[in-house]
Structure 1
Amino acid sequence: MIDRLIRLKNGSPFFGALIRTIRFPVDCLLLVYGATYHKLFGLTPKISHLALVRVFIFTDGKMNDLISFFLSIVYPPLHLHSLSDGLLGGVAESEYHEIQSKLEKDGYYVLENRLSAQYCEKLEAKLSDLSYQIRGDKLKPEELARLYKYDRSNIIAPHYVLERNAVTSLSEVQELISDPVLIRIAQSYLRSQAIFTGLTLDWTPPLGGIKDDAAAQLYHWDMERIKWIRFFIYLTDVDHESGPHCFVKGTHLSGSIPRNLINRGYARISDEEVLNVFGATRILEFVGKKGTIVIEDSRGLHKGLGAISKERLLMAFELSNSTFGNNKRHTITKIHSPRFRDLIAAYPRLYSNFDFNEV
């Protein structure tokens, strides 16, 4: 009955606000139920994840902030200072402070050309024989269910996503998710122990810059976890022609997205609306050479532009303060990196969203 009433809220802002107010205590109970279930079984009931989304909307993100505060007390950041430098090399303390400050204030930070071209090209070379899921607004269900090669001579979708477990089987990926710089940045921002909760690797082929909802090429905000930070890694050179990532500065902060927009939930938001509300100076388009890393709190408004005349290869990591939320796990069948193996043994919570089934 409540769901039916909620569908009527667009006809009356007052009525919609009333329904959300009535539902808030119910959603809080669903969060408690979900947290208990998650503690016992390691999974989040879908109704509890949806309740998290609604509570985020109702409180303008403040409930997420409160839960994150308690998680930071229960799971304070790990001490990783004894680790040797990883792929990103050393980082001065002053830069760590700069990264933290900008992430908190603006919601993003860019590490330019941080990974070597050799690393990016070596990883790209391994992808030609692998299989991908495709995404696109005009694709049929049977097409979405199949796996495809990324064939540049026969592009059939605006987005090719490497199968989830294939990403974590790559030795280069295992080396990167063992990098102490990325882990420390994530922990500092989350103010708690971090957990790798999502890894993706995908191609965006050049299709004249068309906008595709299923390929996340319209503005939106995420709410898959309680609090998280994402690392968008350019594995090819990215300029305006190859579909750069975009972000609206400062929209990660609680209360920063106007009520009329956030009340829409996961609905996409047009470029025109974003421009009218936030102004051109806050809309950022990240271009950079291969090896550039965009660090972002994707609770803020963001999207990927459609590629116009050049393709884009992007890898993305998500680190969160809890696995509560979307039940997306990774299975690893072979560990290639000695550092990765050592970190798994030393810091099991860091990789607790991975299932290890070595063969």
Structure 2
Amino acid sequence: MQKLDVQSKDLESIARSGSKLRRMAVRLPTYIADIRENPAWLPMFMFARTLPGRNLHWLTARKPKTEQSSGKSMFHADYRSAVSALKQDGIFTGLHLPQAIHEEIHAYALNTPCFGNFDRRLEFKASDHANAEKQYGRSLLSGHLFDRIMDCDAALAVQKDPLLIDIAKNYLGADAQLITTRVWWSFPTLASEKDRSMASLDKFHFDLDDWRMLKFFFNINAVDEGTGPHVFVRGSHRRRRLKHQLTLLVGHPADDVLGYYGPDSAITLTGPAGSGFVEDPFGFHMGTVPTSKPRLMMEVGFGVSKPSKRRFHGEPIIR
């Protein structure tokens, strides 16, 4: 895994974004739906972005009755090392899926139609990406499997693995629960600002899905600089510039973020197929748009609040 060169033209271009109001408008239908379903979502959305509000909620975290599960994990990692790294840096990179697992997920994703740009009306197989763009007359930046991934035994084995549960409960508290399981493609294409914003690509941001969260990410195919790697800013989960707490926007320019946390704080998560990491998504992070080949990624998320029942994990409301 590699540090990000913050002097590169790539990050300079990432720092240039479009209208702030336009970015908010993309997510507005989802925000409204979340408030209607669960009014408690609104105070979380307003106050979890501030360190005082967040720290107060962390005081409610209860220690798990047992620190470690009795089941056998597919990973060769120690939950204590992971929790320690998360507390210090907000990220732990010592995870790797067994070959049989990531190969099964990859094969399943190749053979199962996905949905382009989060829209269930844009259905295609990853191998037909170019033809699908012609058919639908638009660029297709992402392809999500949504609930179809729940028919993949290997994916289910990952989300139920005891190590992931142990890390989540020892970091978030005893009330940690599984809230997201996602597998999706990111494709090299000329994407619009709206599609990049919806996919949370090319813009440093932090997540406000819950008061306390952890997200495990796995590169199902090999990821290099041209495959759209994930980028995380170490230490940004535990300190925050005041102006970044007092704005409704969660996304900020790269020079603004890295000017505060330092150029060496950003790491680019490249690696072979199966390589993985876990992060506190309150830290600044971003995905990047692939330039040479598609990326297939799996996410398993844990939080402390009940997930939405109206739609599959992570699926937005499209206006």
**TM bucket normalised to smaller:** 0.7 to 0.9
Q: Distance in 2 between matches of 1:240 and 1:328?
A: 36
Higher relative contact order (CA 8 A, sep 6+): 2
TM-score (norm 1): 0.68
Matches of 1:303 and 1:213 in 2, distance apart?
Answer: 11
Number of the residue aligned with 1:239: 224
Preserved contact between residue 51 and residue 240 of structure 2 (Cα < 8 Å): no
Which residue in 2 is equivalent to 1:352?
none
Aligned to 1:204: 186
Q: Are 1:208 and 1:309, in contact at CA under 8 Å, matched by a contact in 2?
A: no
SS of the equivalent of 2:180 reads: strand
Match of residue 290, structure 1, among 261, 264, 273: 273
Instruction: Tell me, yes or no, if the aligned pair for 2:216 and 2:278 is still in contact at 8 Å.
Output: yes
1:148 aligns with 2:152: no
Match of 1:275 among 224, 245, 258: 258
CA distance in 1, matches of 2:304, 2:310: 15
1:248 aligns with 2:233: yes
> Are 1:319 and 2:302 counterparts?
yes
After TM superposition, list the pairs within 5 Å mapping 1:99-248 onto structure 2.
99-112=82-95, 114-135=96-117, 145-150=121-126, 151-154=128-131, 155=133, 156-163=139-146, 165-207=147-189, 212-217=196-201, 218-248=203-233
Matching of residues 251-266 of structure 1 within 5 Å: 251-253=236-238, 256-266=239-249
Query: Measured at CA, do residues 272 and 71 of structure 1 come closer, stay the same or move farther in structure 2, by a change above 3 Å?
Result: closer
One-letter identity of the residue aligned with 2:130 = S
**8 A Cα contact 2:236 2:261, kept in partner:** no
Moved over 6 A (4+): 208-211
Q: 2:44 aligns with which of 48, 52, 56?
A: 52
Per-residue CA deviations over 1:217-238 (Å, capped at 9, x if unaligned) read: 1111111112111001110111
Give the drift of 1:71: 4.1
> Do 1:198 and 1:329's aligned partners in 2 also have CA atoms closer than 8 Å?
no
Contact 2:232 2:268 in 1 (8 A): yes
Aligned AA (1:246): V
Whether contact under 8 Å (1:220, 1:269) holds in the other structure is: yes
Cα distance in 1 for partners of 2:86, 2:250 equals: 25
How much has 1:182 moved relative to structure 2? Answer: 1.1
What corresponds to 2:7 in structure 1?
Answer: none
User: Whole-Å Cα distance in 1 between the matches of residues 120 and 245 of structure 2?
Assistant: 29
TM-score w.r.t. structure 2 length?
A: 0.76
Q: Distance in 1 between matches of 2:221 and 2:180?
A: 21
Counterparts of 1:169 and 1:77 in 2: how far apart (Å)? 32
SS of the equivalent of 2:109 reads coil
How big is the shift at 1:179?
Answer: 1.1
AA aligned opposite 1:149: K
CA contact (8 A) 1:236 1:312 kept: yes
Q: 1:263: how far off?
A: 2.3
Rg comparison, structure with higher value:
1
Paired amino acid for 2:232: F
- Measured on the aligned residues, the alpha-carbon RMSD in Å equals 2.7
Structure 1 CA distance for aligned equivalents of residues 67 and 80 of structure 2? 16
Cα distance in 2, alignment partners of residues 146 and 209 from structure 1: 15
| Number of residue pairs aligned between Structure 1 and Structure 2 | 270
The answer to whether the 8 A contact 2:48-2:211 is kept is no
